[in-house]
Chains A and B, each alone.
Chain A
Amino acid sequence: MSKIEHDRSHHAEKATGIGDPQCFHGEAGPAKFKVGDRVRIKNLPDLFYTRCQVYTRGAIGMVTEAVYESPAAEDEAWDNTESPEWFYSVVFRQQELWPDYPDLYANDTVETEFSERWLEAV
C-alpha cells in the first residue's frame, strides 16, 4: 500500500522547551506595521480555513502591539510552517464594526489579532 508521509513531529521538536509561537521568534523578518498604525482588514477569500473574523473585513483599526511571529493559521493548518509572519493586535471602535451600535457606548472597543497578510496601511 502506498502511504504519503505526514510526519508533524518536527513541530513538537521545534517547540520543546521553548513553546509555540516562541519557537518561531526571529523568522518573520522586519515587522511591516508599528504600534499606532491605522490599518484596514483585507477582504481576502476565506476558502477552507481562516482565523480572520469576517466581521472585521474592510474595517479600520489601530495596531496596539506586534505580538509574536508564527505561521499564519491558513498555512499552519496544513503544516506549512516555512514562512512565519508577524501577528498584530488591532483595536477597533465597536461603532466601526456594527452599524447599529448605540452612540451612548461610542467609546467601546474590541481588540483582536491578525497575521500580517490581513492588514493594509490606511
Chain B
Amino acid sequence: MSQSTREQVMRHLEAVGYLQPALHKPQQAPYPDEIDHSLYRAYTRSAHDVGGEPDTPMTWEEKEEEQWELNTFATCECLAWRGVWNAEERRRRQNVDLGQTQYLGLPYYGRWLLTAARILVDKQHVTLTELVSKIDEVKSRYEQN
C-alpha cells in the first residue's frame, strides 16, 4: 500500500507538471501590474466560449455512447427533476466552473459525472467526507475482486 501510494504520488506530480497554464511564465501568481486588461479578460473568460480561437482541424468520428455515459446522463436529468439544479446551472458548472484545463482535458461525460458529484456536495446533499469514504470503500471492494 505505502510503496504503491508513493509511486502514485510521484506519477501524479509528473502528470500535473503537464497542466501548467498555457501562458508559460517563470513565476506564477504574478504581481497585479503584470496583468493588463487583455490578460485579465483572457483569464476570467468562460472556458466554453471557444468560438474564433485558433485550432487545428479535428477528425470527425462516430462513437456510440457507453453504458456509464448513458447512466451519467440519466443521473443528471434526475437531479434536475428532483430540484437539485436546472439545465443552465448544470452547463455553467460542467463547462465553465471547472476551469479551462478540465474543460479541455476531460471527456465530455466525464465532466457531467464530476459535476453531478460536485453539485451534491456544494448543496449539502452529501458531505465530501461521505463521498470520499464511499469512493474509498468501492475502490477497495473493486481491487479485491
Judge: A and B partners, yes or no: yes
Chain A: interface secondary structure?
loop
Q: How far is the CA of A20 from the CA of B89 in the complex (A)?
A: 14
Q: How many residues of B contact A (CB 8 A)?
A: 22
Q: Which residues of A contact B123 (CB under 8 A)?
A: 4, 6
Nearest chain B CB to A27 CB, angstrom units = 16
Q: Which residues of B contact A83 (CB under 8 A)?
A: none
Q: How far is the CA of A77 from the CA of B51 in the complex (A)?
A: 20
Q: How many A-B residue pairs have CB under 8 A?
A: 64
What residues of chain A have their CB less than 8 Å away from a CB belonging to chain B?
A: 1, 3-4, 6-12, 20, 46-50, 53-55, 71, 73, 76-79, 81, 97-98
**9 A-B contacts, Cβ less than 8 Å apart?**
A8-B85, A8-B86, A9-B83, A12-B83, A46-B41, A54-B45, A77-B89, A77-B92, A81-B86
Chain B: interface secondary structure?
loop
Instruction: Choose one: A4, A46, A47, A76; the contact of B86 (CB below 8 Å).
Output: A76
Q: How far is the CA of A99 from the CA of B88 in the complex (A)?
A: 32
Q: How far is the CA of A83 from the CA of B88 in the complex (A)?
A: 15
Nearest chain A CB to B94 CB, angstrom units = 11
A49-B46, A54-B49, A55-B52 in contact; A8/B91 too (CB < 8 A)? no
A9 in contact with B82 (CB, 8 Å): yes
B80 close to chain A: CB less than 8 A: yes
B83 in contact with A46 (CB, 8 Å): no
Enumerate B111-125 residues with CB–CB distance to A below 8 Å.
123-124
B124 in contact with A3 (CB, 8 Å): yes
Q: Which residues of A contact B91 (CB under 8 A)?
A: 73, 77
